Structure 1
């Protein structure tokens, strides 16, 4: 089972520095936002001030007037349990992908998944006639990690043991069901992140195969 973590704290930092850095950034930014007077402000407006992803379909349907929000929102969370669940998911599931892609490629992959998850959420708001989007959280990028493992489970089965493949399928099935039945969760962010991860990893996989053939 590749999703079992046996490393020591130092070993984890040494082997998976990008994942460790992402987790640290999420925790530090959560503390900053929580300690900055949230009790005195409207909750959503407070998150908006600190970089949540926001669109208004009438004047800025894709949030391009403040494009940095595509990235800053990935490191924000709407409560301690939201942060805890996402960081646990990163802690457990991201390391094998960082090992497969290597540090720089994995960092680019993670950021692109989060950005594309936000873009897909904005697109669906436009298509469905919603007023806009207000979103925070690392889950879009995390579903990108799940999407990558779905590709591996389907097309590179030899890389995963049976238990790991079943874990990937179970997480995605129950995660999507939970996203549908829980109004506060961004279904389209999860779907967009998963699709982005699946497609991005497939392109990385093809590129790695071509390089091996050239050698």
Structure 2
């Protein structure tokens, strides 16, 4: 108990450099996020843990891409407790998606509008798309479809970004061996897929021709 409290005090009272290393955000935005959850009644203290600790546990997992069984020792919590509070914070953040995730502007980006060389060719371009392979574990019977040329299993993830390098769209779940054109075609066919207004386009390499 004493070790856990000391660790939490170290997080709550750290400087911005340490906060970014531990939480992937500065200390002031961390407390602002906690206050938002608290003021709106989205998260509450329990008999076992505070809202600050719940959010800190969540940020440790997503910020460092660590499994519960690795992180739980840092907070001296069981993996079951860690999992429960992680799910609660994740669902709570989803409640704020309308405020935190802003739709991409369909207007011509300023850096293109103000560049005489780019404007004639890219005035209708709203972003760029590309794929990346994310390592994944799958059942042995499915491994052939997910195995790539470098002999590991992965998902082929489609991502779109705007000219501020902010994600506008991400599609996961496709096998590592899937062709980029097939993934793009799937995305465009989905009701909630990649939306490209008439007259606009995303930059992409030749693999996305479909």
Structure number having the greater strand percentage = 2
Structure 2 length-normalised TM: 0.27
Structure number having the greater helix percentage = 1
Structure 1 length-normalised TM: 0.27
